[in-house]
Structure 1
Amino acid sequence: MDQPAISDYGFISDCRSGALVARDGSVDWWCPDRFDTTSVFGRLLDPDAGHWRIAPLATSRVERAYQPDTLVLRTVHHTPEGSVAVTDALAAELGARSHELGMNSPAVLLRVVEGLSGRVRMHLDFAPRPEYGLLTPYLHEQPDGGVLATAGPVALVLRGGGQPLRVDGDRVGCTFEVAAGQTVGFDLAYAPVYGPPPARLDPVATLAETVRAWEAYREAHHYDGEYRAQVRHSATVLTGLTYARSGAVAAALTTSLPECMGGDRNYDYRYSWLRDFSMTMRALWVAACPNEATRLFAWAARSIGRVGDQPVPVLFGLQGERDISEHECPHLRGYADSRPVRIGNDAWRQRQLDVPGEVIAAVWRLHDYLGDTFEMELREMVVSLAEQVANTWQLPDRGMWETRDIERHYLSSKVLCWVALDGAVKLAPQLGDRADPRRWAAIRDEIRATVLREGWNERIGAYTGSFGSVELDASALFLPVVQFLPATDPRMRSTIEVVERELGTESGLVRRWNTDPAGFVLCSFWLVECLVMAGERDRARALFEKVLGHANDLGLFAEQVDLSTGAQLGNTPQALSHIGLVNAAWRLTDPATD
Structure 2
Amino acid sequence: MIDFYALLSNGITAALENEGSIDWFPCPRYDSPSIFSKILDKNGGSFTIRPLIEYFYKKEYVGNSLILKSEFKVKDGKRLQLIDFLPLSLPAIIRIYDSEIPFYAEVNPLFEYSLIKPGVQFLESGIIFTNPRSREGVEVLLNGSYTFEENKIIFNPGKGFLYLLYSKDLRYGLFSKKGFVYSRPYEALDKALRYWDSQISKAKKIRNFEKEYYRSLTVILGLTYNPSGGVIASPTTSLPEIVGKERNWDYRYVWVRDASYSAEALIRSGLYIRGRDILSFLTSMIDPSSKSFDHPFYSIDGTAPPAEEELTWLEGYKHSKPVRIGNGAYMQVQSDIEGAYMHGLYTYYKETKDEGFIKDVWWAVDAIANWVKNSWKDKSTDIWEQRGIYEHFVHTKVMDWVAVDRASKLAEMLGIETDWKKIADEIKEDVLANGYSEKTKSFVRYYGSEEVDAALLTLPLYNFISVNDPRFISTLQRIEKELSVSNSLLLRYKDDFLGEVSNPFTLVSTWLARVYIRLGKIDYAKNIINNLIECSTDLGLIAEHYERDTCYPMGNFPHLFPHSGLILALIELEEIK
In the other structure, the counterpart of 1:511 is 491
- Residues 12-60 of structure 1 show CA distances to partners (whole Å, capped at 9, x for unaligned) of 111111100022x110000131111111111111122211110112222
In the other structure, the counterpart of 2:299 is 317
In the other structure, the counterpart of 1:135 is 116
In the other structure, the counterpart of 1:389 is 372
Separation (CA, whole Å) in 2 of partners of 1:208 and 1:338:
40
| 3-state SS in 2 of match to 1:531 | helix
- Residues 390-428 of structure 1 show CA distances to partners (whole Å, capped at 9, x for unaligned) of 111111111000001321111110000000111122222
1:437 to 418, 422, 425: 418
The residue correspondences of 1:415-494 to structure 2 (distance < 5 A) are 415-429=398-412, 437-438=418-419, 440-494=420-474
1:15 partnered with 2:11 = yes
2:107 to 120, 126, 135: 126
| 3-state SS in 2 of match to 1:212 | helix
Q: 1:310 to 1:234 in 2, by over 3 A?
A: closer
Residue 153 of structure 2 aligns to which amino acid in structure 1? C
Q: 1:217 to 1:366 in 2, by over 3 A?
A: closer
Question: Is the contact made by 1:114 and 1:183 (CA closer than 8 Å) also made in structure 2?
Answer: yes
In the other structure, the counterpart of 2:188 is 206
- Residues 103-143 of structure 1 show CA distances to partners (whole Å, capped at 9, x for unaligned) of xx12220112222xxx423111111001111111111112x
In the other structure, the counterpart of 1:173 is 152
Question: Is the contact made by 1:374 and 1:430 (CA closer than 8 Å) also made in structure 2?
Answer: no
Q: 1:6 to 1:264 in 2, by over 3 A?
A: farther
> What is the CA-CA distance between 1:535 and the residue it aligns to?
1.8
> What is the CA-CA distance between 1:176 and the residue it aligns to?
2.3
The residue correspondences of 1:359-374 to structure 2 (distance < 5 A) are 359-367=341-349, 369-371=353-355, 374=358
Question: Is the contact made by 1:14 and 1:90 (CA closer than 8 Å) also made in structure 2?
Answer: yes
Question: Is the contact made by 2:86 and 2:94 (CA closer than 8 Å) also made in structure 1?
Answer: yes
TM-score (norm 1): 0.90
| 3-state SS in 2 of match to 1:304 | coil
Question: Is the contact made by 1:225 and 1:585 (CA closer than 8 Å) also made in structure 2?
Answer: no
> What is the CA-CA distance between 1:323 and the residue it aligns to?
4.2
| 3-state SS in 2 of match to 1:208 | helix
Question: Is the contact made by 1:145 and 1:165 (CA closer than 8 Å) also made in structure 2?
Answer: no
- Residues 489-530 of structure 1 show CA distances to partners (whole Å, capped at 9, x for unaligned) of 111111112212221233221111134311111101100000
Separation (CA, whole Å) in 1 of partners of 2:297 and 2:246:
21
Separation (CA, whole Å) in 1 of partners of 2:226 and 2:557:
19
Identity %: 29
Separation (CA, whole Å) in 1 of partners of 2:171 and 2:564:
38
Structure 1: 5+ residue stretches without partners = 93-104
In the other structure, the counterpart of 2:544 is 559
Question: Is the contact made by 2:215 and 2:540 (CA closer than 8 Å) also made in structure 1?
Answer: yes
> What is the CA-CA distance between 1:310 and the residue it aligns to?
7.2
The residue correspondences of 1:3-42 to structure 2 (distance < 5 A) are 8-23=4-19, 25-42=20-37
Question: Is the contact made by 1:6 and 1:569 (CA closer than 8 Å) also made in structure 2?
Answer: no
> What is the CA-CA distance between 1:162 and the residue it aligns to?
3.4
Question: Is the contact made by 1:463 and 1:495 (CA closer than 8 Å) also made in structure 2?
Answer: yes
1:279 partnered with 2:256 = no
Separation (CA, whole Å) in 2 of partners of 1:509 and 1:62:
30
Q: 1:310 to 1:229 in 2, by over 3 A?
A: closer
Separation (CA, whole Å) in 2 of partners of 1:7 and 1:315:
31
Separation (CA, whole Å) in 1 of partners of 2:436 and 2:168:
56
Separation (CA, whole Å) in 2 of partners of 1:141 and 1:337:
34
The residue correspondences of 1:211-250 to structure 2 (distance < 5 A) are 211-250=193-232
- Residues 405-454 of structure 1 show CA distances to partners (whole Å, capped at 9, x for unaligned) of 3211111100000001111222224779xx7722x333322211121122
Question: Is the contact made by 1:251 and 1:269 (CA closer than 8 Å) also made in structure 2?
Answer: yes
Question: Is the contact made by 2:292 and 2:367 (CA closer than 8 Å) also made in structure 1?
Answer: no
Separation (CA, whole Å) in 2 of partners of 1:162 and 1:548:
40
Separation (CA, whole Å) in 2 of partners of 1:184 and 1:64:
19
1:343 partnered with 2:325 = yes
In the other structure, the counterpart of 2:161 is 185
1:540 partnered with 2:516 = no
- Which deviates more from structure 2 when the two are superposed, residues 53-62 or residues 218-227? 218-227
Question: Is the contact made by 2:12 and 2:90 (CA closer than 8 Å) also made in structure 1?
Answer: no
Question: Is the contact made by 2:2 and 2:535 (CA closer than 8 Å) also made in structure 1?
Answer: no
Separation (CA, whole Å) in 2 of partners of 1:410 and 1:587:
27
Question: Is the contact made by 2:336 and 2:397 (CA closer than 8 Å) also made in structure 1?
Answer: yes
Count of aligned pairs between the two proteins: 561
In the other structure, the counterpart of 1:58 is 53
In the other structure, the counterpart of 2:497 is none
The residue correspondences of 1:11-160 to structure 2 (distance < 5 A) are 11-23=7-19, 25-81=20-76, 82-92=78-88, 105-115=89-99, 119-142=100-123, 144-151=124-131, 152-160=134-142
Separation (CA, whole Å) in 1 of partners of 2:394 and 2:576:
25
Q: 1:445 to 1:14 in 2, by over 3 A?
A: same
Separation (CA, whole Å) in 1 of partners of 2:149 and 2:301:
37
Cα RMSD between the aligned structures? 2.2
Q: 1:22 to 1:153 in 2, by over 3 A?
A: farther
Separation (CA, whole Å) in 1 of partners of 2:2 and 2:34:
18
